[in-house]
Amino acid sequence: MAPTDITKPAPPQHIAIIMDGNGRWAKKRGLPRTAGHAAGAESFRRIANYCRTLGVRYLTVYAFSTENWKRSSEEVAGIMKLLRRYLEEALQDMEKNRVCFRFFGDLSKLSPDLQKLCHDAEKRSEDYDVQVNFCLNYGGRDEIVQAARRFAEDVAAGKHNPEDLTEDLLSGYLYSADVPDPELIIRPSGEKRTSNFLLWQSAYSEYVFMNVLWPDFSPSDLDEAIEEYHRRNRRFGGT
């Protein structure tokens, strides 16, 4: 969809977000952490819709990391339940919402029903307005290891020689193959770390760190992050 306001510069075509601060949001209200994740899922819905109206083509979100399994089984089950519910709804409303899906991460560790929902969503994904890339059981280092392993397998099978390996070729083995790198990565909640998110793809991304907790993150916060991005002078290592 075209940007609605022609007086504004075009938004980045790919925005990535570390949806952080759900636990603190819940704690401040005396609620269980799962209530924070539920509010985080609502925030995600709002922001995905807003990205569509802005004309953002790709939205990548960190929904569950390879390290998040260390959380209590109750919290992990709560996050998985929210994802299941969201994907069930999204599968019904795909044509209306014009959102399609990709999943970055090792899905084999997820429950069989959630794996099926992910595969169904990916299979039905046409070229809609916005592509949401859900990072699920995702880690940036793990992604690079998996890619290197698959390249090594192709070498062993005689499909490639070791010297064929270039940045472009390796990119094609990543979960994000064919997706352009994000121009803008947003981390709300006041933390200033990359936390193993899109390590390869973020080589030239602009990071915007914000103090708002993810469940409170609003369309105007996204506008603010995009304005900050436009103020930066992206040089890609040049002068």
Residues lying near ligand FPP in the complex (CB under 6 A) are found at: 19-24, 37, 40-41, 44, 63, 68, 79, 82-83, 86
- How far is it, in rounded angstroms, from Cα 88 to Cα 120? 10
By beta-carbon proximity to ligand FPP, the closer residue of 24 and 160 is: 24
3-state secondary structure at position 196: coil
* SS (HEC) of 75-109: HHHHHHHHHHHHHHHHHHCHHHHCEEEEEECCHHH
Residue (of 136, 132, 72, 145) closest to 109 by Cα position:
136
By beta-carbon proximity to ligand FPP, the closer residue of 41 and 225 is: 41
Residue (of 96, 79, 103) closest to 179 by Cα position:
103
CB of 203 to ligand FPP, least distance (A): 24
Catalytic site residue 154? no
Catalytic site residue 49? no
CB of 27 to ligand FPP, least distance (A): 7
CB of 228 to ligand FPP, least distance (A): 22
CB of 50 to ligand FPP, least distance (A): 14
By beta-carbon proximity to ligand FPP, the closer residue of 38 and 174 is: 38
Residue nearest to ligand FPP (CB): 23
- How far is it, in rounded angstroms, from Cα 149 to Cα 187? 30
- How far is it, in rounded angstroms, from Cα 20 to Cα 96? 29
- How far is it, in rounded angstroms, from Cα 77 to Cα 198? 25
By beta-carbon proximity to ligand FPP, the closer residue of 121 and 174 is: 121
Give catalytic residue positions: 20, 68
